[in-house]
Structure 1
Amino acid sequence: MNRETTFDSSDTLIVVDRSRRRRTIIIGAVAAVIILAAAFFLMRGGGDEPAGAGAAGAGQGQVPSVTVVIPGRQSVDRAIAATGTLAARVDMPVGVAGEGGQVARVLVQPGQWVKAGQTLAVIERSVQSQQAQQLAAQVEVARADARLAQNEYERSEALVGRGFVSKADLDRKRAARDAANARVRVAQASLAETRARIGRLDIRAPAAGLVLERNVEPGQVVSGGSGALFRVARGGEMELRAQLSESDLSVINVGSPATVTPVGSTVTTSGAVWQISPVINQQNRQGIARVAVPYNQSLRPGGFASVTIVAGSQQAPLLPESAVLSDDKGNYVYVVGKDNKVERRPVKTGTVTAQGIAIAEGLQGNEMVVLRAGGFLNPGDKVRPQRQQQ
């Protein structure tokens, strides 16, 4: 019989069918063989690949493929980046031109546009007005005296031929007439002076522009020593006073185009260099280039801004940012050289444009430069270059 009897720990009889156990073992072994055979065929690719193909593919896969570019040489604008402070191109302080007094009215506010000669503030003038009226009356008195002196002279002149008036009396009449006319002119001049003083009590804009500051309030007593009561930017024109190194100042010219971007803003304003400092600061070896820009609401005097000045153009290789690497030794690129081996090439970068980075030194433009994955390479590595036209 194919049965086996045994007892467990509690003396219970257990009957085991040995044929069923043998069949289970055989089925498990066959399943394991089938699984191993399937895995073997899958690893060989179904058994259709030649015997040497696998070894060749493995050897080829150890050489990485890299994308390279031959940049050539392009015309690139030479741009100089700098920072500086915004200011009014012509900042006009406006104060008291006359004798001053108590401010009666202030007619403008900061940020307001004004015309040339427009009244900014009015000073109380009641006393000066009374003086003007008094002088106007004195002019009338002097004119009346002059008319009387003229009439007396004319009558004396008619009688001198008939012997009723001597020539000496006629000369005195002529002198009295001339003196009366002179007193009229003196009175008129005094009146004109007073009226001019009254006119100077109005604080006026010397030119059209934008009001930047107002430092006066109604009721305030001002005089010639009160300082600037208003500040006006002539024409609203602004400028950026950029700090540039000595070498950068030597390559820019008056009229060089520039773009100004205030800090914290994405708005750029086009302008041009209108003045270059004739001296260099001996402490920091820098000078100032003044960039004129038209009025823009984002440009506020006293603010900080960056500027890019175009100082001509140059022929240079242009590479994407992914091709230029850097470490503690400086900037460099990987060049595919002889036998497709990677070489490290130190470079000096130039202008950064929307198209890429200009290489000022280190490349001629006819090299095969690794475009991407340079960070995973080492000098001397062998690669398979795949050229990409830039």
Structure 2
Amino acid sequence: MTHPSASRFRPAVAALLLLSLAACQNEPAAPAEGRFVRVVTVEAGKLANEIQLSGEIQAEKNVGLAFRIGGRVTERPVNVGDRVAVGQIVARLDPTLERNALTAAKAALEAARGEVNTTRSTFERQERLMAQGFTTRPRFDQALKAQEAAQAQLENAEAQLELAQDRLGFTELRAGVAGTVTARNVEPGEVVQPGQAVAQLARDDGRDAVFNIPANLLEKKSGETTVRVALADAPAVTALGRVREIAPQADPVTRTFAVRVGLIDPPEAMRLGSTVVGTIEAATAAIIAIPASALAQQGVSPAVWIVDPANSTVSLRNVDVLRFDPSQVIVSQGLAPGEIVVSGGIQMLLPGQRVRQLPAPTAAGRTAAASQAAGRPAVPPS
């Protein structure tokens, strides 16, 4: 049942509404203003990923020590792990045969010298007689040839003496460089052949960190990649190095490539055989990072709103996302450095809509926002 007084007020209310609508139609339309949004300018960068690999410390150069002559080993005063200096004796051979050969060479030299003196005296006498006409040409020539043969024998005896002295010296194997003995291959009493390795020496003039790396991680240019190497049991002990050598062929079992990294001034704690961890920073091609709040969607593809600086209008553009991070999105394609992207207020945007950029927050504004986020009242500046 309707109240009688309500029926009397309905015509008056309707009249007031009609007058209000007519007044609104007669007023001029307000100019369209842009929607306030927050924007960021696109900047190019590189995405770095750290790759860690395990390896070991090895000598940059290894030297095999061997005798130049064969014989029986009588002494080997060094063992694995010993440090040797330049000229230090590593092993000795039995010198009996070489000493006897040296004695025989000395005797042959003395005999050759005596023969030279004899033939020289004979030739000088024949030369005087030839000048006086008291000898024949054949005897003179014979004395000359005998002197030349004796001189040749003397030179041969001198060479044999030097050879015998050298062979006696070869019975002592000395280190030509300083280093550490990493292997011994013979024991005293064994008979060795010339050139047979007696010991292995790791030189002190360089250290390498050796890693086994899959083919997809190999750098195309050796020497340009910097590797940070740290001891596995003491990460604070570090050294920098550069790729020095890459094996041309993969290991037949592991299918990995041995990569040698030359260390730059490695600390003493990085001893041979130590386990190390190498860290390589692998940078991708140029990428772009934008705030996560800037990411929109167009159909099933991710997209962003691009601001046209000429007329302050926006348009939606598809992008390829490489990676999602908590606070940002890594875009691989779709954006160019210098473009303006809407980072805040994308919910109500339409293609072609005019926008206005919000001013950058001041220090006081950031403080107030932080206080409100923490639940504290903002304190106005004095």
Q: TM-score, normalised by structure 2?
A: 0.59
Whether contact under 8 Å (2:78, 2:90) holds in the other structure is yes
Alignment of 1:316-331 (within 5 A): none
Whether contact under 8 Å (1:101, 1:222) holds in the other structure is yes
| 1:32 equivalent in structure 2 | none
Partners in 2 of 1:229 and 1:357 — Cα distance? Answer: 63
Partners in 2 of 1:268 and 1:86 — Cα distance? Answer: 12
Bigger mean CA deviation after superposition, 207-216 or 269-278? 207-216
The offset of 1:240, in angstroms, is 2.1
Partners in 1 of 2:170 and 2:246 — Cα distance? Answer: 38
Amino acid at match of 1:234: R
Partners in 2 of 1:358 and 1:184 — Cα distance? Answer: 91
Alignment of 1:176-191 (within 5 A): 176-191=146-161
| 1:235 equivalent in structure 2 | 204
Alignment of 1:67-86 (within 5 A): 79-86=50-57
Whether contact under 8 Å (1:316, 1:358) holds in the other structure is no
Amino acid at match of 2:245: Q
Distance 1:181 1:226, change over 3 A: closer
Alignment of 1:295-306 (within 5 A): 296-306=267-277
- Cα deviation 1:116-162 (Å, max 9, x = unaligned): x4432222313321321221121011111101101110111011122
1:289 and 2:259 matched: yes
| 2:111 equivalent in structure 1 | 141
| 1:258 equivalent in structure 2 | 227
The offset of 1:183, in angstroms, is 1.3
| 1:246 equivalent in structure 2 | 215
The offset of 1:280, in angstroms, is 4.4
Partners in 1 of 2:242 and 2:328 — Cα distance? Answer: 23
2:97 is matched with which residue: 97, 120, 127? 127
Partners in 2 of 1:71 and 1:258 — Cα distance? Answer: 31
Whether contact under 8 Å (1:255, 1:274) holds in the other structure is no
Whether contact under 8 Å (2:51, 2:279) holds in the other structure is yes
1:90 and 2:70 matched: no
The offset of 1:187, in angstroms, is 1.5
Partners in 2 of 1:149 and 1:76 — Cα distance? Answer: 90
Bigger mean CA deviation after superposition, 193-202 or 77-86? 77-86
Whether contact under 8 Å (1:84, 1:242) holds in the other structure is yes
The offset of 1:209, in angstroms, is 3.0
1:112 and 2:83 matched: yes
1:99 and 2:75 matched: no
| Identical aligned residues as a percent | 21
The offset of 1:91, in angstroms, is 1.4
| 2:11 equivalent in structure 1 | none
The offset of 1:212, in angstroms, is 2.7
| Aligned residue pair count | 279
Distance 1:337 1:358, change over 3 A: closer
Distance 1:180 1:124, change over 3 A: same
Q: TM-score, normalised by structure 1?
A: 0.58
| 1:35 equivalent in structure 2 | none
Distance 1:225 1:149, change over 3 A: closer
Whether contact under 8 Å (1:103, 1:222) holds in the other structure is no
The offset of 1:232, in angstroms, is 1.2
* DSSP-derived class of the 2:151 partner: helix
Segments of 5+ residues of structure 1 without an aligned counterpart are 1-69, 320-332, 351-355, 370-385
Whether contact under 8 Å (2:245, 2:260) holds in the other structure is yes
Partners in 2 of 1:127 and 1:357 — Cα distance? Answer: 83
Segments of 5+ residues of structure 2 without an aligned counterpart are 1-40, 297-301, 303-319, 345-368, 372-382
1:193 and 2:163 matched: yes
* DSSP-derived class of the 1:229 partner: strand
Alignment of 1:369-388 (within 5 A): none
- Cα deviation 1:260-285 (Å, max 9, x = unaligned): 22332221122111112334457755
Amino acid at match of 2:132: R
Whether contact under 8 Å (1:76, 1:358) holds in the other structure is no
Partners in 1 of 2:98 and 2:194 — Cα distance? Answer: 20
* DSSP-derived class of the 1:106 partner: coil
The offset of 1:316, in angstroms, is 5.7
